[in-house]
Amino acid sequence: MDLEKFKVHGEPLIYGAMISIALATIGIIVGLTVFKKWGYLWREWLTTVDHKRIGVMYILAALLMLFRGGIDAIMMRLQTAAPDMKFLDAQHYNEVFTTHGLIMILFMAMPFIIGLMNVIIPLQIGARDVAFPRLNAVSFWLFFFGAMLLNISFVIGGSPDAGWSAYFPLASIEFSPTVGNNYYSLALQISGIGTLITGINFIVTILKMRAPGMKLMKMPMFTWSVLITNIIIVFAFPVLTVALALMMFDRLFGSQFFTMANGGMDMLWANLFWVWGHPEVYIVVLPAFGIYSEIIATFSKKNLYGYTSMVFSMLIISLLSFLVWAHHFYTMGQGVMVNSFFSITTMAIAVPTGVKIFNWLFTLRKGRITFTTPMLYTLAFIPIFTIGGVTGVMLAMASADYQYHNTMFLVAHFHYVLIPGAVFAVIAGFHYWFPKVFGFRLNERLGKHAFWWIIISFNVTFFPLFLLGLMGMTRRMYTYSEETGFGPLNMLSFAGALGLAIGFVILVYNIYWSTRYEPRDTTGDPWDARTLEWATNSPIPAYNFAVVPKVQTRDALWSAKQDNIPLFTEEITKIHMPSNTGKPFILGVVFFFFGFFLVFSMWIPAIVAGVGIILVMAAMSFDRDHGFYIPAKEVIATEKKLRGETV
C-alpha cells in the first residue's frame, strides 16, 4: 500500500493542525471515558430523532466550522496584509481560500440555518416534530460526515485548490492532480444528499403538519421563508448532485464531460455550478429574511408591515434566483443579447428585495423599539446589506462587470451580502432563540460587546476591498508587489479581520459565561414575543406541546396574550413519539468511508462500503418500529415540573 499519497508535506502549519486534531480527538475520547458519557452520548445525541437536538447538533457543527473557516480567513488576510509576504506559499494559499469558501457557505451558513430551521419550524407551526424524524437524522449525519470528509483533506492527501467554484479545466485531473478535488466532489455530494432530504422533509412538514387554523397566509414569516427556501433546495440541489457526479466520473473514471479534449466542455461546468450556485445564495439569505422579520416584529412590538407583499417578494426572488446564473460569467463571451437578458433579470431581484427593506422600515415606524442583542444585529443588517444590495445592482450591469469581474470589488460585494444577509441573521437568531432551547438568555452586556466588535471590524475588513477592486486587484492572488500600491488597504483589512476574530471569541465566551451565571427563565416567553414557539415551556419538552394549539391569527401567541384567546383548549392525552435509532449515524459513518476510499481510488474497500450503504438503507426500510406513547399522566407531571410547580 502506497502511503505516500496520504501525506501532506512541508508546512509546519499542517503538522500543527495534525497534532491539534490528534490531541483534540484523544481529549474527547478520554473525556467521554473518564466521565462515563459514552452511553449518554449514544442514547441522547447520536441516535436522537428529536428535531430540537438535531438542530442543536447542526448549530454546534456550524460554530466549529465557523472557527475553521475563520482561521482560514485570517490566514488569507495575513498572507496578503503586506506586499511579498512569505507566510503561505501559492499552493497552500489556494487550498486555504478554496476551503474557506466551501466551509463558510456549505458547512457553516447552511447548517446554521438548517439548525435554526430544525429547532424552530415545528414549534412555530405547532407540530410535535418534523414529518420524517428519522430522515431528518439521516440528513444531519450525511451533512456531518460530508463536512468531516472535507475537513480531513487538510491533513490527509491535501485540500481542494481550484477555488470553491472549481472551474474546469483547472479542477480536472490534468491540472489538479492531487486528491483535493476528489474530496470536493465526494464531500459535497454526501452532504448535498443530506440537504436535499432536508428540503423534502421541511416542505412536507410545513405543508402537512401545521396546527389547526394556521392557514398558509397565517404562517409566521420565518416559516414562509423556510418553505420557500426548501422549495429552492429541491429544485437546485439535484443540479449540484448531477454536476458533482459528472465531476467525479471525470476525475476518477476518465470520462470527458468537462475536459479540454474529446468534446468535453469546460463551460458546461461553470453553467451547471452556477445554476445551483446562485439559488444557493438565496437558500442562505431567504431564511435570514425570515429571522429578521420575526425579530423586528418582536422588538418593535408591532405586527409585520405588508405581510402579503413580503411573502410574494420572497416567491418572486425564488423564481428569479433560477434565471440569473450567467451573471457569474458575463465575460465568457456570450455577447450582448445574452448578457443583457441576465443583467435585467439580476437587477430585477433588487425590486422584491427593496420591498422587504421598506416593509421592515415601516414595521419599525410607529413601533416601540428596544435594542436587545438580536435586534442590534437585525438593525445593523439593514444599512450594511443595502450596501451589498446596491453594489449587487452595479455588478449586475454586464458592461461594468467586465471591470469588476474577478476583482476584490466582487469579493467585497458578496461579503457585504452574505455576512449581514446570513451570518448576522444566524447570530441574531441564535441569541433570539437561545432561551427557548436552553431556558436562559445569553448575557446582554457581553452580547453587545461582541456585536460592536463584529460590526465595526466587518466594515474595516471588507470596505477597503471595494477600493482594491477598483485599483485592479484581482481576487485569489496569493501575493502582490510593492509597486501595485495594494499594501495599505490590505493591511487595514487584516486589522479588521483580527477585530472580527475578537468579536467571535467574545460571542463564544458569552455562551460559557451565560451557562454559568445567567438567571433561568421560567416564563417560556422572555422577549414578550408573538409566535407559537414561545407558547410552550423552555427548555422545550420532548413532545413540544402538551396539547396541540389552535390558531386563529397570524401572531397567534400575541393575540392570545392581548385578547385572552386560549391557544390550548383540549385535554392532555397520550402523545405518540418516534423512537430513537442508531441507523442514520451508522449510515453516515459508512458513507464517510465510502467517500474516503473513492477519494483515494481504493476500489475494493469502496465497493465494500458501497454494499454497506445499501445494507443499512435496506435495514432502515424494513424497520418496523412505529414509535411509542408518552402516557397522559407523565405529560401532566412534566408540564407541572417545567412550570416550577411541585408534582
Partner 1 sequence: MNKKGPLYALFLSLVLLLPGCSSLTVLNPKGPAARTLSDTIILSILVMLGVLAVVYILYIWVLVKYRAKKSNEGYVPPHEEGNVWLEATWIAIPILIVAFLSVVTVKTTSAVENVAADYKDQKPLVIYASSSNWKWHFSYPEEGIETVNYVNIPVHRAVEFRLYSFGTITSFWVPQLGGQKYAMSDMITTLHLSADTVGSFIGKNANFSGKGFAHMEFEALSMTDKDYQDWIKEVKETASPLTEDEFKGLLAMEHVGRKTYTSTHLSFSPPPGDHGDHMSNDGKDTDIDNGNTDHQEHKDIHPSPEPSSETEFDGEPHPEVDQPLPSSPVEEHTHHSD
Nearer to partner 1, 349 or 548 (CB): 349
Contacts of 297 (CB under 8 A, 6+ apart): 221, 303, 304, 363, 530, 555
Nearer to partner 1, 309 or 552 (CB): 309
Q: What is the DSSP string of 136-165?
A: HHHHHHHHHHHHHHHHHTTTTT----STTT
Nearer to partner 1, 255 or 638 (CB): 255
Beta bridge partners of 544: none
The minimum distance between CB 524 and partner 1, in angstroms, equals: 23
356: nearest Cα among 290, 277, 445 = 290
Residue carrying C-alpha cell 464517510: 592
And the C-alpha cell for 66?
A: 465557523
**What's the CA gap between 445 and 402, in Å, rounded?**
46
The minimum distance between CB 250 and partner 1, in angstroms, equals: 15
Nearer to partner 1, 11 or 266 (CB): 266
**What's the CA gap between 307 and 301, in Å, rounded?**
15
Quick check: helix, strand or coil at residue 512?
A: helix
Q: What is the DSSP string of 276-302?
A: HHHHHHHHHHHHHHHHHHHHHHHHTTS
The minimum distance between CB 352 and partner 1, in angstroms, equals: 8
Omega before 12 within 30 of 0, i.e. cis: no
**By the 8 A CB rule, do 232 and 286 touch?**
yes
The minimum distance between CB 495 and partner 1, in angstroms, equals: 12
Nearer to partner 1, 552 or 638 (CB): 552
Nearer to partner 1, 185 or 300 (CB): 300
The minimum distance between CB 507 and partner 1, in angstroms, equals: 16
Nearer to partner 1, 302 or 436 (CB): 302
The minimum distance between CB 290 and partner 1, in angstroms, equals: 18
The minimum distance between CB 542 and partner 1, in angstroms, equals: 35
| Other beta carbons within 10 Å of 569 | 10
**By the 8 A CB rule, do 417 and 388 touch?**
yes
**What's the CA gap between 576 and 361, in Å, rounded?**
43
And the C-alpha cell for 487?
A: 499594501
The minimum distance between CB 405 and partner 1, in angstroms, equals: 6
Nearer to partner 1, 48 or 300 (CB): 300
Residue type, 466: F
The minimum distance between CB 253 and partner 1, in angstroms, equals: 19
**By the 8 A CB rule, do 303 and 530 touch?**
yes
Nearer to partner 1, 50 or 294 (CB): 294
**By the 8 A CB rule, do 634 and 581 touch?**
no
